[in-house]
Structure 1
Amino acid sequence: MSFEIIQIPRDDEGIRLYLERHKAFRLLALKTDPDAFGSTFAREIAFTDDVWFNRLKNPQITTFLALRSDQVVCSISLGGPLPCTPEESSPSKDPWTILSGDPSAGEQSHWRGLGMFTLPSARGQGIATAIIARTVQFGIDEAAKSGKTAVFSIAVEHDNPAAVGLYEKCGFKTIIKEPWFRDRPRIALLLKYSPTSERSEASVE
């Protein structure tokens, strides 16, 4: 069955059009797979509509939805550009805390994938790969406006092999492993993807 990927607009009308679907899907994700996120269902169910609205309005957050028959089946947000490089950031800390500040200096613009989730019934069908590719292209295009190349990172728990496998398939490689203690001992991974490096390696081969 076909699907479409949409980027939620940041204007008030566009946000209101997708707000309830985004909110419902995010809460479903937190409830369905609580170990996959740095936040919790109990925390976000208490958010007011203003909090949800302001998340989508945030100029440093861009959210993408994959829709099938007008139902959200996959979602990811992209934060950036960030005031640090992937190597300077952490996979276990709340990524929302690093969104403030001036973007990092240098030739690269750093973007962080946030809140990635695909409905179990929609997995293995290329939807997640497609939405990541769309997100990456957005970051590349935005970085180019500042004369920079883009680099991406995403955090995942080490014992989530399906997610790790997906990101590796999309070109991400683990660069940081660190302890993560939310409700039990875990290991958080930070994966990095540099499209420019991938193209350079391909051209050499």
Structure 2
Amino acid sequence: MAFEIIQIPHDDESVRAHIEQYKAFRLYSLKTAPNSFGSTYEREIAFTNDVWYNRLANPLATTFIAVQSDRIISTITAMGPLPWAPEEAPPAKDPWTPSMDSALLTYFHFRVNGMFTVPEARGQGVAKALLDRFFKFGKDEAVKAGKEFVSSIVVDADNPPARKLYEKCGYVAVSEEPYGPSRIAVLMKYPSSPGKTIVSA
């Protein structure tokens, strides 16, 4: 299955060229898999065009899309660098915050946010290819800053396929906590650190 991975630049022309397709895909994702996100379709369908524009233009948020036949089939957004380590950023912590001076950061920490692949494209390497592209971006940015690259991601405990994908890509679970009335969120970190891995069902 041939597909292209695109990193959406933050300039005005690029954001405007992708905004409608990105918005439609995000809303489709929230409607299709409502238990896979920290947000809801009802919340985001009410967003103004300015909110959608600012999401893609936000210098703290780098969005990657996988495109097949001019159609988005998968996305991830990398938030960072964040002013805290993965273990200091529980699942409920909002990553959409301003970054601090990168010279003051110990790590270049990026949280993967909003990852989703359309059902018909799963199991074909699309999500892994997106993560690999993100890893290259994150590591390159960390090297430029003379910092160590780390990443975190949050997954529902009852979503074994997603967790298996992240483990295959090198993430390890470091904590679990209730998230909302009936969900358990697993915080995962890349790369692993000795003594931080937990074992759970």
> How far has the Cα of 1:92 moved from its partner?
2.7
Distance in 2, matches of 1:19 and 1:119, equals: 18
| Mapped pair 1:85 → 2:85 | yes
Distance in 2, matches of 1:77 and 1:103, equals: 21
| Mapped pair 1:95 → 2:91 | no
Q: CA RMSD in A?
A: 1.7
Distance in 2, matches of 1:125 and 1:7, equals: 20
Deviation per CA, 1:34-92, whole angstroms, max 9, x where unpaired? 00000000000000111000111111000000000110000000000001000111113
Normalising by structure 1, what TM-score?
Answer: 0.90
Letter aligned with residue 191 of structure 1: M
Distance in 2, matches of 1:56 and 1:44, equals: 14
Distance in 2, matches of 1:185 and 1:74, equals: 27
Q: 1:48 to 1:106 in 2, by over 3 A?
A: closer
Letter aligned with residue 54 of structure 1: N
Other-structure match for 1:40: 40
Distance in 1, matches of 2:108 and 2:99, equals: 13
Matches within 5 A, 1:22-171: 22-96=22-96, 99-102=97-100, 105=104, 107-171=106-170
Query: Any unmatched runs of 5+ in structure 2?
Result: 194-201
Q: Is the 8 A contact 2:81 2:99 kept in 1?
A: no
Distance in 2, matches of 1:61 and 1:108, equals: 17
Distance in 2, matches of 1:30 and 1:194, equals: 28
Letter aligned with residue 170 of structure 2: G
Query: Any unmatched runs of 5+ in structure 1?
Result: 198-205
> How far has the Cα of 1:100 moved from its partner?
2.3
> How far has the Cα of 1:106 moved from its partner?
5.1
> How far has the Cα of 1:101 moved from its partner?
4.4
SS at match of 2:2: coil
Q: Is the 8 A contact 2:60 2:99 kept in 1?
A: no
Normalising by structure 2, what TM-score?
Answer: 0.91
Structure 1 stretches of 4+ with a deviation exceeding 3 A read 103-107
